[in-house]
Amino acid sequence: MNVSLKPKEAKMLKTIKTKFVLSLIVFILLSVGIPIYFLINQFQKNFHERSLILLNATMDMLRYGLDNEMLQGSDKDVQAIVEDISRYENIDHIRIFNEEDKILYSTIKNEIGKDINAIAPGHIQPILEEEFERKIRLIEDNHTYNAFEAIQNSKECQSCHGNNVVIAYLDVDSHLTTSESHFYTGSMHVIYLGTVVIIILILGFYLFFNKIINRPLKKFMFAMEELENGNMDIKMEASSDNEFGMLEKHFNKMVDEINNSRDEIDQLHFKQLQHADKLAHIGELTAEMAHEINNHTGIILSRSDYLQLEAYKNNVLGKYKDDFDVLVDESIKVSKITRNILKHSKKSIKEFRELDLVNIIEDNIQMYLPIVNKRNIKIQKSINVENAFVKGDNLQLDQVLTNLISNSIDASNSNGIIEIGIERTDKEKIQLYVKDNGKGIPLENIEQVFSPFFTTKESDKGTGIGLYIVKKICDNHNATISCESNQTNGTRFNIVFN
């Protein structure tokens, strides 16, 4: 049967307090219990050997007296010999009985003539079933010893006892001596004392651990939980000069630094929001201006187109045909730029469908032509695939290219080159890239370029959210974006569509 612990019980078993208490109990039991065990065991062994020696000596003396008495052909003094030997301190009683289990001699005279099995049921039966040699055994119930031996019929005795194999049996019981009684009593006292010492040590160490380690640790854990729950005003009182006191001081210092950092972040965030709000207003104004310019451009384009047609019909105006062609072409360019601005100013509604990346690149290049021409920056297009269709949202992908091209323009100097291209990776996936030869990004900042509010631009030129938005849009399109940069050779952003 599998026994599973509840989460609370399993968690409790992993705590330092539980591990300490369990380890302490095991250590104390081993350090106190093992010496007590070996001490008592050694005393028991010593008393056992002493009891064997005493019983063997008693049996030898008894056999010597009996043999002398029997060889003289008399048994008158056998009872006296039994009573004399029983006077030794450790001898409880002595019995001599025959093969019919009838007691012939005993230190207790009223036992004489009775059946030993009736006097002491089961006392000798296990021994009688064994051989006739001397046997000494420990009676565990009362910590006494019993010696038993068969008196075999020798040649000298056969004249009186016939051909019987055994003449009689000797049964000697010993009781505890005073020193042995004291030992067994003392052993129990030692065990009780050892138990008390173990309990006192466990309680003492537990109270010591609880006061010196567990209580400060709980305070520290409570403070950490409060901090995790957002209580930034939590403070710990440095109550001691030990390691926990140092931890409490460092904790308070950490909370102060977090509060200071949070204030700085809030201020920076507020500034970024202010800047983003300004940009939003500028975007709205730009959209309105683009709308108005587009209206006037439409009028200019329609009039220029009319004059262009008249120039082809009227010889008087014919000499202005080239001028009218330029006016129409430039008006169309202005109209495309304003349409792109209006398209990007609309709120984005996600609509994923098959898109041609080439068309998106063309539209963005047209939108940025006036800016790059003014700054003498060249935009190059490099399309190295036959099919550049991907599934995505047109406005979001426009936003990606807008941010990347804008960053490349900001990083490029006069006569700079920006390359926008499409190619296939080694795994035949479509890769869109924007590359410039301007000032690159420091190596230590490359991993942070997609983090919100991170920018290396001046405070009035960048919010630090452009590349963060680009990364999010790429994630929405199941695409991966990476940055390669060198401070001498410029920067390249790669977008791989999966």
Per CATH, which fold does 351-497 belong to? Heat Shock Protein 90 (3.30.565)
Q: What is the pLDDT of residue 3?
A: 47
Q: Which residues contact 84 (CB under 8 A, 6 or more apart)?
A: none
Residues 111-145: tens digit of each pLDDT: 899 988 888 887 776 555 555 678 888 776 666 78
What does CATH list as the number for 16-183? 3.30.450.20
- Tens-level pLDDT at each residue, the chain (498 residues): 454 445 544 555 566 777 777 887 888 778 877 887 887 788 778 777 877 888 888 888 888 888 887 777 666 788 888 888 888 777 888 898 888 889 888 988 898 999 888 888 877 765 555 556 788 887 766 667 888 888 887 777 776 777 777 888 888 888 776 666 666 677 777 778 878 888 888 888 888 888 877 788 788 788 888 888 878 888 887 666 777 778 888 888 888 888 887 777 777 776 766 666 666 666 666 776 777 777 777 778 777 887 888 888 887 777 888 777 878 877 887 777 777 666 666 655 567 899 999 999 998 888 888 888 888 999 999 999 988 999 998 888 988 998 899 889 988 888 899 999 999 998 899 999 999 998 888 888 888 888 877 777 765 566 677 888 899 899 999 999 999 998 888 999 999 998
Same fold, 16-183 and 351-497: no
Q: What is the pLDDT of residue 283?
A: 67
With both helix axes pointing from N to C terminus, report the angle between 321-345 and 243-313 in degrees, rounded to the nearest 10.
150
d(CA 248, CA 250): 5
d(CA 354, CA 360): 12
pTM: 0.40
Query: Dihedral sign, CA of 249, 253, 254, 259?
Result: positive
Question: And the tokens for 373?
Answer: 């021409």
Q: What is the pLDDT of residue 126?
A: 53
d(CA 488, CA 480): 25
β-partners of residue 390 are 355
Residue with tokens 């006892």: 161
Residues in the chain: 498
**Cα end-to-end distance, the chain, whole Å:** 51
Q: What percent of the chain has pLDDT over 70?
A: 84
Give all strands of the β-sheet with 166-174 in edge-to-edge order.
103-106, 91-97, 166-174, 144-152, 135-139
Residues 48-100: tens digit of each pLDDT: 787 788 888 888 888 888 888 777 766 678 888 888 888 877 788 889 888 88
Q: What is the pLDDT of residue 120?
A: 82
Q: What is the pLDDT of residue 154?
A: 76
Q: What is the pLDDT of residue 132?
A: 64
Per domain, the residue ranges of the chain are 16-183, 351-497
Q: What is the pLDDT of residue 435?
A: 95
Q: What is the pLDDT of residue 225?
A: 84
Q: What is the pLDDT of residue 461?
A: 62
